[in-house]
Amino acid sequence: LEHKTLMGTPKEPTIFYEVSKVCDVKDVYITPGGCSWLHGVVSIRKRNADDGKKAIETAFKGHKSMKHVFVVDDDIDIHDPHQIEWAMATRFQGSKDMIIKQEKGSSLDPSADPITRETTKIGFDLTIPWDKEKENFKKPDLPVKLNLDDYL
């Protein structure tokens, strides 16, 4: 765990730097659920239709061992997995918003090919579709957990 954490956190600024070359990046987070190494979330302010996809491509350049990257709009809290899941449920269409590539991955990924280290890397563009009405994608201001005693 220490090895992955000590390696993963310093990758956040390198991802930020690479993504900032192609779009307006706001924040980057390497998630603990992704072993603090294999999963990243990138927050951007989208100014062009292809910013989400450009952010995915350059995030992988910023951290070559990363396996999955999720790109979200800057209204999503990248430290809150519920908000990321909400963005995936409401803003994502797999046939249009996913980039899949076969590349060399991390030696820390037990699912990668043990000899070549090849793995499938996936980028998820969870940003609001450029050609859709933005108002339809407003994040609801709902609590994640309800206390039923408040309603009984």
Does the pLDDT value for residue 91 go beyond 80? yes
Better-scored residue on pLDDT, 101 or 5: 101
pTM of the model: 0.89
The mean per-residue pLDDT over the stretch 92-96 comes to 96
Superfamily grouping for domain 2-150: UbiD C-terminal domain-like (3.40.1670.10)
Express each pLDDT in 67-85 by its tens digit: 999 999 999 999 999 999 9
pLDDT at 1 over 60: no
Predicted confidence (pLDDT) per residue in 8-21, tens digit: 778 999 999 999 99
DSSP state of 61: H
- Indicate the helix (H) or strand (E) that contains 62: helix 51-62
Query: Where do the DSSP E strands lie in the chain?
Result: 24-30, 39-45, 68-73, 98-104, 118-125
CA angle at 144 for the pair 139 and 148, rounded to the nearest 5°: 130
Residue 10 is predicted with a pLDDT of 85
